[in-house]
């Protein structure tokens, strides 16, 4: 009985996720001029490429797509690198009060992002960082560091200190110990942390609409939200086609690196 209930629950969760995806794909296929205003449950045509072209070129979502790719890759990698260095300092280096530094960095995940928006907007406006790629990249890195630090630090605490001590006896500097020993051993966890941060940056909406407005600077989720207003007369098929192409990068990253992701999450869970 319990197994039947579990299987029914899992099947319901799968259906709950797949039905909206099915509707998105089917209605993205519908020609914009032939959309009736009601969701279609069966394909009413095959205008997916026309809808994608309208969303990508005519609506300008392509520029934002490339900007988000830049933000997600560069900021995700930079955040993981900074987090790994911070974790190495807290766990390995002989710094005073390591618990204090851990909670100071990790506290960045404890406060709601909305409380920082007004001060950030004022600082960016005064510092000429508003509506610039550099401004968004700085805030994305700072936003992504705390959670990546938490993942990497948890895994780093499981590494035997004898490894570091042996390297120091051989005359290795802390910088060499970090790059030659800890980074290779932490590769799965670093990869998992990067996938988490890539997804978080790619899916960001609130920072994008608060700190940018130009199509070539805005992240893709912010551009997609404006697309629903600018192309409301074209009907949902264009908007859904844009949502479809926007959802592909995170899916592809997870599918390509799923083995690395699972090893990294497993290693972190065991720590």
* Residue 140 pLDDT grade (very low, low, confident, very high; cuts 50, 70, 90): very high
pLDDT value at 42 more than 70: yes
Domains identified in the chain and CATH numbers: 59-270 (1.10.3720.10)
pLDDT digit string, tens, across residues 236-246: 777 787 888 88
pLDDT digit string, tens, across residues 50-59: 777 877 776 6
pLDDT digit string, tens, across residues 163-194: 888 888 888 888 888 888 888 888 888 888 89
Record the pTM: 0.82
The fraction of the chain above a pLDDT of 70, given in percent, is: 87
pLDDT value at 266 more than 70: no
Residue in 78, 102, 80 with CA at minimum distance from that of residue 90: 102
Is the Cβ–Cβ distance between 253 and 203 less than 8 Å?
A: no
- DSSP secondary-structure letter at 234? G
Mean pLDDT (the chain) is: 82
Amino acid 115: pLDDT: 83
pLDDT value at 44 more than 80: no
Whole-angstrom distance, CA of residue 195 vs CA of residue 201 = 10
Residue in 161, 152, 232 with CA at minimum distance from that of residue 197: 152
Is the Cβ–Cβ distance between 224 and 176 less than 8 Å?
A: no
pLDDT value at 153 more than 80: yes
Q: Residue 234, CB half-sphere, CA atoms under 13 Å: how many?
A: 24
pLDDT digit string, tens, across residues 88-115: 999 888 888 888 989 988 888 888 888 8
Within 47-75, residue ranges assigned H as helices are: 48-53, 61-70
Tokens coding 131: 């509506």
């Amino acid at each position: 009985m319990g197994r039947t209930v579990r299987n029914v629950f899992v099947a319901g969760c799968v259906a709950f996720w797949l039905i909206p995806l099915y509707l998105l794909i089917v209605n993205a296929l519908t020609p914009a001029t032939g959309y009736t205003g009601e969701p279609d449950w069966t394909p009413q045509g095959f205008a997916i490429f026309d809808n994608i072209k309208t969303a990508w070129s005519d609506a300008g979502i392509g520029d934002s797509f490339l900007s988000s790719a830049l933000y997600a890759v560069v900021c995700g990698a930079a955040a993981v690198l900074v987090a790994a260095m911070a974790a190495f300092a807290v766990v390995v280096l002989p710094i005073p009060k390591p618990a204090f530094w851990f909670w100071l960095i990790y506290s960045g995940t404890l406060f709601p992002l909305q409380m920082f928006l007004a001060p950030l907007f004022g600082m960016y406006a005064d510092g000429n960082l508003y509506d610039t790629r550099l401004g968004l990249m700085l805030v994305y890195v700072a936003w992504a560091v705390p959670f990546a630090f938490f993942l990497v630090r948890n895994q780093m605490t499981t590494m035997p200190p004898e490894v570091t001590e042996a390297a120091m006896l051989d005359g290795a500097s802390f910088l060499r110990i970090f790059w030659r020993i800890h980074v290779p051993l932490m590769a799965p966890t670093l990869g998992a942390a990067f996938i988490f941060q890539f997804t978080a940056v790619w899916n960001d909406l609130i920072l994008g609409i608060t700190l940018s407005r130009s199509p070539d600077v805005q992240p893709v989720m912010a551009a997609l939200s404006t697309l629903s207003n600018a192309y409301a007369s074209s009907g949902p098929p264009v908007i859904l086609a844009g949502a479809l192409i926007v959802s592909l990068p995170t899916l592809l990253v997870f599918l390509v690196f799923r083995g690395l992701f699972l090893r990294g999450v497993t290693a972190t869970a065991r720590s």
